[in-house]
Amino acid sequence: MASMPRDSFDREIDYLRISIIDRCNMRCVYCMPLDGLRFLPGPELLTPAEIETIARAAVSVGFRKFRLTGGEPTLRADLIEIVERVAKIDGVHGLAMTTNAMLLENLAEPLKNAGLTRINVHLDSLNPDTVERQMRWGNFERVWRGIMAAEAAGLTPIKLNAVVTAGYNESEVVDLARLTLERDWHVRFIELMPLGGGECARLSVKRYVSNIETRRRIEAVLGPITELPTENLADESRNYRLKGARGVIGFISPVSEPYCGTCNRMRLTADGKFHLCLLNDGELDVRGALRSGSGRELDDVAQILSRAVAMKPTGHHLLEGRSTKDRSMFQIGG
């Protein structure tokens, strides 16, 4: 078994987030505009076999954890095949997926049977009207049925990710946090990040809410929260619990409390690029190696991934007013 790869800042990089599609069936206000979008044509997306090759190469250099992302991964007709191929690889210690759960109701059990271990669900509010306004094209009832199906299938612990946006859902974070009193879920609040340089990035700056404010809002209504011991230093979430609660409240704060120093992630875009850092534009192409016909694709991919780890930057530059210009969140995979 290969040892975990380390980057030039001595961080262990063992977690690969694999975007399998850039399309989405929502248009969240901070992520995707309603008009002017161009999505990858089918031939430019990585195939299930290519994704498997990349995952095998990643394991060979020391990666252990994997997550499927999008866009919205449930829009891939071959999602079950992708999960089966990655989950069966010896050395994959857990395969998770991030989804908006709109299509999850009928997919949860097949995904579990295929080898998926758990899910994160993006849900910004428990108010159906807010969901429709902030997560445009979203339907709360469909999302909730998807979450219930995932829990029934054993895709646990359920993690809910809410992006807090001023003028939309900042007053509704208490209702989300209250879920943890009765459910053993992780409810995590995420600060807005400006990516892509377009109207969504501008909105992310204008509508930014610090998690310091979100925590204060929660404690003012539900009482003090107690910080939990850190089990995983690379966890981007700082985790807390309300008194007597079954679940966990988490805060992911890339702007107010950057966690770059413990980052363990590498990202693969749907068109086959290793994206070196979520909030930087550096990338290395891997699709070309996969489709070169060289006969040594596995070794070639492993070498490119090792080079990507070595090139990973120390962190983002949001406080200096710099972020990605070439890609938006849905093109990277979060």
Q: Is there a domain that residue 171 lies in?
A: yes
CA distance 205 to 221: 27
Q: What is the pLDDT of residue 252?
A: 94
Look up residue 184 and give its two tokens. 């053993």
Q: Is there a domain that residue 9 lies in?
A: no
- pLDDT means per 10 residues, the chain with 334 residues, are 82 95 94 88 96 98 96 97 98 96 98 98 98 96 98 97 96 98 98 80 88 98 96 88 98 89 92 88 93 94 96 72 62 71
Q: Is there a domain that residue 5 lies in?
A: no
Give the predicted TM-score (pTM) of the model: 0.93
Q: Is there a domain that residue 7 lies in?
A: no
CA distance 209 to 76: 33
* CATH code: domain of residue 243: 3.20.20.70
Other beta carbons less than 10 A from residue 77's beta carbon: 7
Q: Domain residues for 145?
A: 15-332
Q: Is there a domain that residue 6 lies in?
A: no
**Total number of domains in the chain:** 1
Q: What is the pLDDT of residue 78?
A: 98
Q: Is there a domain that residue 108 lies in?
A: yes
CA distance 39 to 51: 19
Q: What is the pLDDT of residue 243?
A: 97
Q: Is there a domain that residue 1 lies in?
A: no
* H or E, element range at 273: strand 273-275
Q: What is the pLDDT of residue 133?
A: 97
Q: What is the pLDDT of residue 234?
A: 80
CA distance 255 to 250: 15
Q: What is the pLDDT of residue 283?
A: 92
Please tell me what DSSP assigns to residue 262: G
The residue with tokens 């710099």 is 322
